[in-house]
Amino acid sequence: KTKIYKIDKNNIDDNKIKEAAAILKEGGLVAFPTETVYGLGANALDVDAANKIYKAKGRPSDNPLIVHIANVESLNELVAYLPEKGKKVIEAFWPGPLTLILNKSKNIPDNITGGLNTVAVRMPSHPIAIEVIKEAKIPIAAPSANTSGRPSPTNANHVIEDLEGKIDMIIDGGMVDIGLESTVIDFTSDIPLILRPGYITKEMIENVIGKIEIDKALLEEFAHSEAPRSPGMKYKHYAPKAPLNIIDGELDKVVCKINELLLDNEKKGLKVGIIATKQTKMYYNSGIVKVIGDRNHENEIAKHLFKTLREFDALGVDIILSESFNENYLGQAIMNRLLKASGYKIIKVN
Ligand code: TXA
Ligand code: MG
Protein backbone atom coordinates (compact mmCIF):
# COMPACT_ATOMS: atom_id res chain seq x y z
CA LYS A 1 0.00 0.00 0.00
CA THR A 2 2.81 2.40 0.85
CA LYS A 3 5.17 2.80 -2.10
CA ILE A 4 8.81 2.77 -1.05
CA TYR A 5 11.21 4.35 -3.54
CA LYS A 6 14.97 4.60 -3.26
CA ILE A 7 16.33 7.84 -4.72
CA ASP A 8 20.02 8.71 -4.94
CA LYS A 9 20.36 12.34 -3.87
CA ASN A 10 23.37 12.76 -6.17
CA ASN A 11 21.59 11.33 -9.18
CA ILE A 12 17.90 12.10 -8.77
CA ASP A 13 15.38 10.07 -10.77
CA ASP A 14 12.92 12.68 -12.12
CA ASN A 15 10.16 10.16 -12.74
CA LYS A 16 10.01 9.19 -9.11
CA ILE A 17 10.01 12.85 -8.05
CA LYS A 18 7.10 13.47 -10.46
CA GLU A 19 5.17 10.59 -8.94
CA ALA A 20 5.76 11.94 -5.42
CA ALA A 21 4.69 15.44 -6.49
CA ALA A 22 1.52 14.06 -8.10
CA ILE A 23 0.53 12.33 -4.84
CA LEU A 24 1.07 15.57 -2.91
CA LYS A 25 -0.97 17.60 -5.41
CA GLU A 26 -3.83 15.12 -5.06
CA GLY A 27 -3.84 15.52 -1.28
CA GLY A 28 -1.79 12.42 -0.35
CA LEU A 29 1.09 11.93 2.07
CA VAL A 30 4.76 11.46 1.07
CA ALA A 31 7.68 11.04 3.48
CA PHE A 32 10.98 12.40 2.18
CA PRO A 33 14.47 13.10 3.52
CA THR A 34 15.58 16.58 4.53
CA GLU A 35 19.02 17.58 5.80
CA THR A 36 17.73 17.49 9.41
CA VAL A 37 15.35 14.51 9.73
CA TYR A 38 12.80 12.82 7.45
CA GLY A 39 9.61 14.83 6.96
CA LEU A 40 6.02 13.69 6.35
CA GLY A 41 4.74 15.97 3.59
CA ALA A 42 1.27 17.10 2.53
CA ASN A 43 -0.19 20.07 0.62
CA ALA A 44 -0.05 22.93 3.15
CA LEU A 45 -3.00 24.73 1.53
CA ASP A 46 -5.32 21.70 1.70
CA VAL A 47 -7.16 21.25 5.01
CA ASP A 48 -7.94 17.57 4.43
CA ALA A 49 -4.36 16.73 3.46
CA ALA A 50 -3.06 18.36 6.62
CA ASN A 51 -5.58 16.44 8.70
CA LYS A 52 -4.20 13.21 7.27
CA ILE A 53 -0.78 14.13 8.73
CA TYR A 54 -2.18 14.46 12.24
CA LYS A 55 -3.96 11.15 11.87
CA ALA A 56 -0.99 9.20 10.46
CA LYS A 57 1.36 10.47 13.18
CA GLY A 58 -1.18 10.35 16.02
CA ARG A 59 -0.26 13.98 16.59
CA PRO A 60 -2.30 16.30 18.84
CA SER A 61 -4.12 18.78 16.60
CA ASP A 62 -2.93 21.85 18.52
CA ASN A 63 0.71 21.15 17.59
CA PRO A 64 1.33 23.19 14.41
CA LEU A 65 3.25 22.07 11.32
CA ILE A 66 6.23 23.60 9.51
CA VAL A 67 5.54 24.71 5.94
CA HIS A 68 8.39 23.88 3.54
CA ILE A 69 9.12 25.92 0.42
CA ALA A 70 11.66 25.68 -2.40
CA ASN A 71 12.20 29.38 -3.15
CA VAL A 72 12.02 32.59 -1.14
CA GLU A 73 9.27 34.09 -3.34
CA SER A 74 6.85 31.45 -2.02
CA LEU A 75 6.95 33.26 1.32
CA ASN A 76 4.78 36.05 -0.06
CA GLU A 77 1.65 33.93 -0.21
CA LEU A 78 2.26 32.41 3.23
CA VAL A 79 3.13 35.26 5.56
CA ALA A 80 1.59 38.65 6.29
CA TYR A 81 4.88 40.40 6.79
CA LEU A 82 8.62 39.63 6.81
CA PRO A 83 10.59 41.81 9.24
CA GLU A 84 14.06 43.10 8.28
CA LYS A 85 15.87 40.75 10.70
CA GLY A 86 13.98 37.81 9.26
CA LYS A 87 15.09 38.81 5.78
CA LYS A 88 18.74 38.88 6.86
CA VAL A 89 18.55 35.51 8.55
CA ILE A 90 16.94 34.00 5.46
CA GLU A 91 19.73 35.38 3.28
CA ALA A 92 22.32 33.91 5.61
CA PHE A 93 20.86 30.46 6.32
CA TRP A 94 18.37 29.40 3.63
CA PRO A 95 18.20 26.88 2.21
CA GLY A 96 19.05 25.15 5.50
CA PRO A 97 18.04 23.90 8.93
CA LEU A 98 16.32 27.06 10.17
CA THR A 99 12.56 27.61 10.65
CA LEU A 100 11.07 31.08 11.04
CA ILE A 101 7.83 31.81 12.90
CA LEU A 102 6.07 34.72 11.16
CA ASN A 103 2.60 36.25 11.12
CA LYS A 104 0.56 34.13 8.74
CA SER A 105 -1.39 35.16 5.68
CA LYS A 106 -5.04 34.25 5.15
CA ASN A 107 -4.06 31.45 2.75
CA ILE A 108 -2.91 29.18 5.54
CA PRO A 109 -5.59 26.83 6.85
CA ASP A 110 -6.11 26.90 10.63
CA ASN A 111 -5.27 23.25 11.11
CA ILE A 112 -1.71 23.86 9.83
CA THR A 113 -1.02 26.36 12.59
CA GLY A 114 -3.03 24.73 15.37
CA GLY A 115 -5.23 27.82 15.39
CA LEU A 116 -2.33 30.27 15.97
CA ASN A 117 -2.05 33.43 13.87
CA THR A 118 1.60 32.63 13.14
CA VAL A 119 3.09 30.13 10.72
CA ALA A 120 6.39 28.21 10.75
CA VAL A 121 8.29 28.27 7.43
CA ARG A 122 11.54 26.74 6.24
CA MET A 123 13.44 26.12 3.01
CA PRO A 124 15.30 22.80 3.33
CA SER A 125 18.63 22.26 1.58
CA HIS A 126 18.28 18.55 0.84
CA PRO A 127 18.19 18.08 -2.95
CA ILE A 128 15.38 15.48 -2.82
CA ALA A 129 13.19 17.69 -0.59
CA ILE A 130 13.80 20.68 -2.85
CA GLU A 131 13.02 18.74 -6.04
CA VAL A 132 9.78 17.32 -4.62
CA ILE A 133 8.54 20.74 -3.49
CA LYS A 134 9.54 22.41 -6.78
CA GLU A 135 7.81 19.74 -8.83
CA ALA A 136 4.63 19.86 -6.71
CA LYS A 137 4.55 23.69 -7.02
CA ILE A 138 2.76 23.97 -3.68
CA PRO A 139 4.02 24.69 -0.15
CA ILE A 140 4.45 21.42 1.74
CA ALA A 141 3.56 21.00 5.40
CA ALA A 142 5.99 18.51 6.91
CA PRO A 143 6.48 17.49 10.51
CA SER A 144 9.08 14.87 11.32
CA ALA A 145 7.99 11.55 9.81
CA ASN A 146 7.68 9.59 13.07
CA THR A 147 4.79 8.45 15.20
CA SER A 148 4.12 11.29 17.63
CA GLY A 149 6.32 10.92 20.71
CA ARG A 150 8.91 8.57 19.16
CA PRO A 151 12.44 9.65 18.23
CA SER A 152 12.55 11.56 14.92
CA PRO A 153 13.53 9.47 11.87
CA THR A 154 17.06 9.84 10.54
CA ASN A 155 16.83 7.11 7.93
CA ALA A 156 14.04 5.59 5.82
CA ASN A 157 13.80 2.44 7.96
CA HIS A 158 12.69 4.57 10.90
CA VAL A 159 9.89 5.99 8.74
CA ILE A 160 8.92 2.51 7.56
CA GLU A 161 8.78 1.31 11.19
CA ASP A 162 6.35 4.06 12.15
CA LEU A 163 4.31 4.87 9.04
CA GLU A 164 4.28 1.99 6.54
CA GLY A 165 0.66 1.28 5.61
CA LYS A 166 -0.49 4.69 6.82
CA ILE A 167 0.88 6.94 4.06
CA ASP A 168 1.14 6.85 0.26
CA MET A 169 4.87 6.96 -0.35
CA ILE A 170 8.21 6.85 1.44
CA ILE A 171 11.27 8.16 -0.38
CA ASP A 172 14.43 6.46 0.85
CA GLY A 173 17.26 8.91 0.31
CA GLY A 174 19.63 7.31 2.81
CA MET A 175 20.75 8.65 6.13
CA VAL A 176 20.24 12.37 6.83
CA ASP A 177 23.18 14.72 7.40
CA ILE A 178 22.34 16.52 10.64
CA GLY A 179 20.06 14.22 12.62
CA LEU A 180 18.34 16.87 14.80
CA GLU A 181 15.36 18.98 13.73
CA SER A 182 15.75 22.56 12.51
CA THR A 183 16.31 25.53 14.79
CA VAL A 184 12.95 27.29 15.29
CA ILE A 185 13.07 31.05 15.81
CA ASP A 186 10.13 33.40 16.38
CA PHE A 187 10.30 36.75 14.56
CA THR A 188 6.94 38.10 15.71
CA SER A 189 8.39 40.19 18.55
CA ASP A 190 11.16 42.83 18.47
CA ILE A 191 13.85 40.57 19.83
CA PRO A 192 13.74 37.25 18.00
CA LEU A 193 13.33 34.23 20.25
CA ILE A 194 14.70 30.71 19.77
CA LEU A 195 11.92 28.22 20.50
CA ARG A 196 13.87 25.08 19.55
CA PRO A 197 17.68 24.88 19.39
CA GLY A 198 19.23 23.17 16.36
CA TYR A 199 22.20 23.05 14.04
CA ILE A 200 22.02 26.82 13.43
CA THR A 201 23.05 28.09 16.85
CA LYS A 202 22.20 31.26 18.78
CA GLU A 203 25.76 32.49 18.19
CA MET A 204 25.51 31.97 14.42
CA ILE A 205 22.25 33.94 14.27
CA GLU A 206 23.56 36.71 16.53
CA ASN A 207 26.50 37.15 14.17
CA VAL A 208 23.97 38.16 11.51
CA ILE A 209 21.29 40.18 13.39
CA GLY A 210 22.67 40.92 16.86
CA LYS A 211 21.12 40.00 20.17
CA ILE A 212 18.42 37.32 20.26
CA GLU A 213 16.87 35.38 23.11
CA ILE A 214 16.26 31.77 23.91
CA ASP A 215 12.91 30.57 25.25
CA LYS A 216 13.30 30.11 29.00
CA ALA A 217 11.09 27.04 28.85
CA LEU A 218 14.02 25.31 27.09
CA LEU A 219 16.32 25.67 30.05
CA GLU A 220 16.30 22.73 32.36
CA GLU A 221 15.30 24.56 35.53
CA PHE A 222 12.25 26.03 33.79
CA ALA A 223 11.22 22.89 32.01
CA HIS A 224 8.37 22.12 34.34
CA SER A 225 7.34 25.59 35.46
CA GLU A 226 7.06 27.84 32.41
CA ALA A 227 4.47 27.41 29.69
CA PRO A 228 6.42 26.82 26.47
CA ARG A 229 5.75 29.20 23.57
CA SER A 230 6.12 26.48 20.99
CA PRO A 231 3.14 24.16 21.36
CA GLY A 232 5.21 21.13 20.38
CA MET A 233 7.61 21.58 23.24
CA LYS A 234 5.06 20.62 25.87
CA TYR A 235 4.52 17.06 24.68
CA LYS A 236 6.60 14.05 25.58
CA HIS A 237 9.06 13.80 22.76
CA TYR A 238 11.76 11.69 21.23
CA ALA A 239 11.18 9.15 23.97
CA PRO A 240 12.58 5.62 23.82
CA LYS A 241 10.40 2.88 25.28
CA ALA A 242 12.69 2.25 28.26
CA PRO A 243 13.23 4.94 30.91
CA LEU A 244 16.27 7.06 30.12
CA ASN A 245 18.51 8.63 32.77
CA ILE A 246 21.15 11.23 32.01
CA ILE A 247 24.19 11.26 34.26
CA ASP A 248 25.79 14.70 34.35
CA GLY A 249 29.05 15.98 35.83
CA GLU A 250 32.80 15.54 35.35
CA LEU A 251 33.38 12.77 32.86
CA ASP A 252 35.32 10.40 35.13
CA LYS A 253 32.66 10.67 37.84
CA VAL A 254 29.93 10.15 35.26
CA VAL A 255 31.58 6.93 34.12
CA CYS A 256 31.88 5.71 37.75
CA LYS A 257 28.23 6.51 38.45
CA ILE A 258 27.05 4.76 35.30
CA ASN A 259 29.04 1.64 36.24
CA GLU A 260 27.50 1.73 39.72
CA LEU A 261 23.94 2.08 38.35
CA LEU A 262 24.71 -0.60 35.79
CA LEU A 263 25.60 -3.11 38.53
CA ASP A 264 22.56 -2.17 40.63
CA ASN A 265 20.23 -2.72 37.70
CA GLU A 266 21.91 -5.91 36.50
CA LYS A 267 21.59 -7.36 40.00
CA LYS A 268 17.85 -6.88 39.64
CA GLY A 269 18.03 -8.86 36.42
CA LEU A 270 17.44 -5.84 34.18
CA LYS A 271 18.86 -5.33 30.70
CA VAL A 272 20.77 -2.05 30.67
CA GLY A 273 21.63 0.13 27.65
CA ILE A 274 24.46 2.65 27.89
CA ILE A 275 24.95 5.68 25.65
CA ALA A 276 28.71 6.08 25.57
CA THR A 277 31.27 7.90 23.45
CA LYS A 278 34.42 6.86 21.65
CA GLN A 279 36.38 8.24 24.59
CA THR A 280 34.56 6.23 27.26
CA LYS A 281 33.31 2.96 25.80
CA MET A 282 36.25 0.92 27.10
CA TYR A 283 35.37 1.77 30.70
CA TYR A 284 32.08 -0.12 30.66
CA ASN A 285 32.51 -3.85 31.02
CA SER A 286 28.91 -5.02 30.84
CA GLY A 287 25.52 -3.79 29.66
CA ILE A 288 24.69 -3.03 26.04
CA VAL A 289 27.09 -0.21 25.17
CA LYS A 290 26.38 2.00 22.14
CA VAL A 291 28.90 4.56 20.97
CA ILE A 292 27.02 7.66 19.90
CA GLY A 293 30.11 9.41 18.54
CA ASP A 294 33.34 11.19 19.36
CA ARG A 295 33.12 13.81 22.14
CA ASN A 296 35.21 16.14 19.99
CA HIS A 297 32.80 15.88 17.06
CA GLU A 298 29.37 17.09 18.16
CA ASN A 299 28.08 16.55 14.62
CA GLU A 300 28.51 12.80 15.08
CA ILE A 301 26.63 12.83 18.37
CA ALA A 302 23.76 14.85 16.85
CA LYS A 303 23.55 12.53 13.87
CA HIS A 304 23.41 9.32 15.91
CA LEU A 305 21.23 10.36 18.87
CA PHE A 306 17.75 9.42 17.60
CA LYS A 307 19.04 6.30 15.84
CA THR A 308 20.65 5.10 19.08
CA LEU A 309 17.41 5.58 21.02
CA ARG A 310 15.55 3.52 18.42
CA GLU A 311 18.21 0.80 18.54
CA PHE A 312 17.66 0.43 22.28
CA ASP A 313 13.90 0.14 21.63
CA ALA A 314 14.56 -2.70 19.21
CA LEU A 315 16.84 -4.47 21.70
CA GLY A 316 14.17 -4.29 24.39
CA VAL A 317 16.41 -2.86 27.12
CA ASP A 318 14.76 -2.13 30.49
CA ILE A 319 16.65 1.05 31.24
CA ILE A 320 19.02 3.40 29.37
CA LEU A 321 21.87 5.29 31.06
CA SER A 322 23.37 8.16 29.08
CA GLU A 323 26.43 10.30 29.55
CA SER A 324 25.71 14.02 29.21
CA PHE A 325 27.34 16.37 26.71
CA ASN A 326 28.61 19.91 26.96
CA GLU A 327 26.09 22.54 25.99
CA ASN A 328 28.21 24.75 23.77
CA TYR A 329 27.03 25.41 20.24
CA LEU A 330 25.40 22.27 18.78
CA GLY A 331 25.60 20.73 22.27
CA GLN A 332 22.65 22.86 23.31
CA ALA A 333 20.42 21.15 20.74
CA ILE A 334 21.80 17.72 21.64
CA MET A 335 21.13 18.20 25.36
CA ASN A 336 17.69 19.69 24.65
CA ARG A 337 16.62 16.51 22.78
CA LEU A 338 18.27 14.19 25.29
CA LEU A 339 16.62 15.95 28.25
CA LYS A 340 13.23 15.80 26.59
CA ALA A 341 13.72 12.13 25.72
CA SER A 342 14.47 11.43 29.38
CA GLY A 343 11.54 13.47 30.69
CA TYR A 344 14.23 15.62 32.39
CA LYS A 345 15.58 12.74 34.47
CA ILE A 346 19.07 13.96 35.18
CA ILE A 347 21.40 12.64 37.89
CA LYS A 348 24.18 15.08 38.91
CA VAL A 349 27.41 13.61 40.23
CA ASN A 350 29.60 16.49 41.32
O1 TXA B 1 13.89 19.94 10.77
C2 TXA B 1 12.68 20.09 10.88
O3 TXA B 1 12.16 21.14 11.28
C4 TXA B 1 11.79 18.89 10.51
C5 TXA B 1 11.97 18.64 9.00
C6 TXA B 1 11.03 17.60 8.48
O7 TXA B 1 11.86 19.85 8.29
N8 TXA B 1 10.43 19.15 10.85
C9 TXA B 1 10.00 19.15 12.14
O10 TXA B 1 8.64 19.37 12.30
O11 TXA B 1 10.74 18.97 13.08
P12 TXA B 1 7.87 19.06 13.65
O13 TXA B 1 6.45 19.22 13.32
O14 TXA B 1 8.29 17.73 14.16
O15 TXA B 1 8.28 20.20 14.63
C16 TXA B 1 7.77 21.51 14.43
C17 TXA B 1 7.98 22.34 15.67
C18 TXA B 1 7.05 21.92 16.78
O19 TXA B 1 7.75 22.01 18.02
C20 TXA B 1 5.95 22.97 16.69
O21 TXA B 1 5.26 23.16 17.89
C22 TXA B 1 6.72 24.20 16.27
O23 TXA B 1 7.71 23.70 15.37
N24 TXA B 1 5.86 25.17 15.57
C25 TXA B 1 5.25 25.04 14.39
N26 TXA B 1 4.51 26.11 14.09
C27 TXA B 1 4.65 26.96 15.13
C28 TXA B 1 4.12 28.27 15.43
N29 TXA B 1 3.31 28.90 14.61
N30 TXA B 1 4.50 28.85 16.60
C31 TXA B 1 5.34 28.22 17.45
N32 TXA B 1 5.88 26.99 17.22
C33 TXA B 1 5.53 26.37 16.08
MG1 MG C 1 8.62 16.16 15.42
Length of the chain: 350
Please give the Cα distance from 117 to 80 (Å, whole number).
10
List, in sequence order, the alpha helices (H) in the chain.
14-25, 47-57, 84-93, 127-136, 156-163, 202-209, 251-267, 298-315, 330-342
Q: Are 227 and 106 in contact (CB under 8 A)?
A: no
Q: Which of 122, 12, 287, 32 is nearest to 323 (CA)?
A: 287
Is ligand 1 within 6 A of the CB of residue 173?
A: no
ipTM above 0.95, yes or no: yes
* CA atoms of 111 and 115, how far apart (whole Å): 6
Which amino acid, one-letter code, is at 192?
A: P
**Ligand 1 close to Cβ of residue 146 (< 6 A):** no
Predicted pLDDT of residue 222:
47
Residue nearest to ligand 1 atom 32, measured at CA = 230
Give me ligand 1 centre to Cα 121, in Å. Answer: 9
Distance (angstroms) between ligand 1 centre and the Cα of 262 equals 36
pLDDT at 350: 82
How many Å apart are CA 248 and CA 254, to the nearest integer?
6
Question: CB of 184 closer than 6 A to ligand 1?
Answer: yes
* DSSP, residue by residue, 26-82: TT--EEEE-SSSEEEEEETT-HHHHHHHHHHHT--TTS--EEE-SSGGGGGGTBS--
Task: Please state, in angstroms and rounded to a whole number, the distance separating the CA atoms of residues 103 and 44.
Answer: 16
Torsion sign (Cα): 53, 56, 62, 64: negative
Percent with pLDDT over 90 in the chain: 89
84-93 and 202-209 helices cross at what angle (nearest 10)?
120
Report whether residue 163 contacts ligand 1, using a CB cutoff of 6 Å. no
CB of 167 sitting under 6 A from ligand 1: no
Q: Which amino acid is at 265?
A: N
pLDDT computed for residue 327 by the predictor = 86
**Ligand 1 atom closest to the CA of 124, numbered from 1:** 7
Write 73-80 long-range contacts (CB < 8 A, 24+): 74/139, 75/102, 75/121, 77/105, 77/107, 77/139, 78/44, 78/102, 78/104, 78/105, 78/107, 78/108, 78/119, 78/121, 78/139, 79/103, 79/104, 79/105, 79/119, 79/121, 80/104, 80/105
Tens digits of residue pLDDT in 235-277: 567 788 999 999 999 999 999 999 999 999 999 999 999 999 9
Nearest CA to ligand 1 atom 18: 232
Residue 104 banded pLDDT, cuts 50, 70, 90: very high
Closest ligand 1 atom to residue 184 Cα is 23
* pLDDT tens, residue by residue, 292-344: 999 999 999 999 999 999 999 999 999 999 999 988 889 999 999 999 999 88
Residues, CB-to-ion distance under 5 Å, ligand 2: 144
d(CA 163, CA 169) in angstroms, rounded, equals 10
CA 176 to ligand 2 center in whole angstroms: 15
Question: Does ligand 1 lie within 6 Å of residue 53's CB atom?
Answer: no
Q: Which one of the ligands is nearest to 68 CA?
A: 1
Does the pLDDT at position 25 exceed 50? Answer: yes
Question: pLDDT by residue (tens digit) across 200-234?
Answer: 999 999 999 999 999 987 765 545 544 555 665 55
What atom in ligand 1 is closest to the CA of residue 196? 19
Query: For residue 143, how far is its CA from the centre of ligand 2 (angstroms)?
Result: 6
**3-class DSSP assignment, residue 194:** strand
- Does the annotation place 122 within a ligand binding site? yes
223 lines ligand 1 (CB under 6 A): no
Cβ–ligand 1 contact at 42 (below 6 Å):
no
CB 333 within 8 A of CB 302: yes
Question: Does residue 168 have a pLDDT over 80?
Answer: yes
